Structure 1
Amino acid sequence: MVRVLLALDDDLAQAKAQVAAIEDMVETADGAEVFILHVFEKNPEGASVHQVEAVREAKKRLEAAGVTVELLEASGDPGEEILERAKEQDVDQICVSGRKRSPAGKALFGSVTQDVILGTNRPVLVCGSSEE
């Protein structure tokens, strides 16, 4: 069984691209468990992971593909929280989103993505938007 931490923000197109990549991966796996994590940097209203459209859509699609899904939420620095949850859940892989960048910016990943890649020994899958 493959265990994946799927880190999602509010971007629905990004979430769809990440889910598509995971669906492709789990087709060949003998079972899959995906932990969907949304990190609230600031959450004064007390929102829940269940209120994030990208999370709801990802959960629905993954469960339809036969994947076991658990929702996680955290508050704070996204890079640190992603790394902490990956460790806690002992996942095999972390899936994060990439952002479309200017030609000069393409040489570097976004700060959260870069923090995750450099902060773990686990494989990190970086996905672009499905609308690119």
Structure 2
Amino acid sequence: MSMNTVLLAVGSKDESRLEELAETAASVVDPDGRVVLLHVFDRERYDTIETQLNIDEDSEVTPDDVSERSRIVSDVAERLERAGVDYEIRGALGETAESILDKSESLDADLVVVGGRSRSATGKALFGSTAQRVLLEADCPVTFVKDRSEEQTEATVPA
């Protein structure tokens, strides 16, 4: 199956799994394909970032611009660059699942990569409401990436 356009959705809750998210997207995208790195902001977070970046409210700043200046996005972008993957950065303002679904549709994405909480003690995957909605409603396959670091900590046995 061709993976020409992979939509990689990242947000502030993904900080502990950026490496896994970047690796996953890089490993599945076609050699001549691209990863679209999407950061979805809620209004509060967006306003905070605008203030931190001293962006003049009258300037023509788009969510794409704000996304490009996000630390999380630049971290993932760097990792994709090192992996030699072609990528572009997009931003969206609004409800996360809705924005991911809209963007995957408008891009005609071949795959969506999202993160979520790690497994519970009983081994069940705990999907946040965003990941769950994307998994259920996306028009294309969805890859769910959970935190590896949390799992390793849980499995550590005292010496």
Over the matched positions of the two proteins, sequence identity in percent amounts to 35
How big is the alpha-carbon RMSD for the aligned residues of Structure 1 and Structure 2?
2.0
Q: Please tell me whether the aligned partners of residues 5 and 86 of structure 1 are also in contact (alpha carbons under 8 angstroms).
A: yes
How far does the alpha carbon of each residue in 1:42-85 deviate from its partner, in whole angstroms, 9 at most, with x for none?
A: 22235311232221011111122221111111111000000000
2:16 to 13, 16, 22: 13
TM, length-normalised to structure 2: 0.73
Unaligned segments of structure 1, at least 5 residues: none
Q: Does 1:25 align with 2:43?
A: no
How far does the alpha carbon of each residue in 1:1-56 deviate from its partner, in whole angstroms, 9 at most, with x for none?
A: 62100000123222211111122224xx3322011001101222353112322210
Tell me how far 1:104 sits from its aligned partner: 6.8
1:23-102 equivalence runs, <5 A: 23-26=26-29, 29-42=30-43, 43-45=46-48, 47=50, 48-100=66-118, 102=120
Instruction: Write 1 or 2 for the structure with the bigger share of helix.
Output: 2
Structure with the greater alpha carbon radius of gyration:
2
**Further displaced range: 39-48 or 86-95:** 39-48
**What's the counterpart of residue 57 of structure 2?**
none
Q: Does 1:124 align with 2:146?
A: no
**What's the counterpart of residue 155 of structure 2?**
none
Higher relative contact order (CA 8 A, sep 6+): 1
Q: Please tell me whether the aligned partners of residues 116 and 126 of structure 2 are also in contact (alpha carbons under 8 angstroms).
A: no
Paired with 2:21 and 2:119, the residues of 1 have a C-alpha distance of: 18
TM, length-normalised to structure 1: 0.86
Instruction: Write 1 or 2 for the structure with the bigger share of strand.
Output: 1
Q: Please tell me whether the aligned partners of residues 97 and 131 of structure 2 are also in contact (alpha carbons under 8 angstroms).
A: yes
Q: Please tell me whether the aligned partners of residues 12 and 53 of structure 1 are also in contact (alpha carbons under 8 angstroms).
A: no
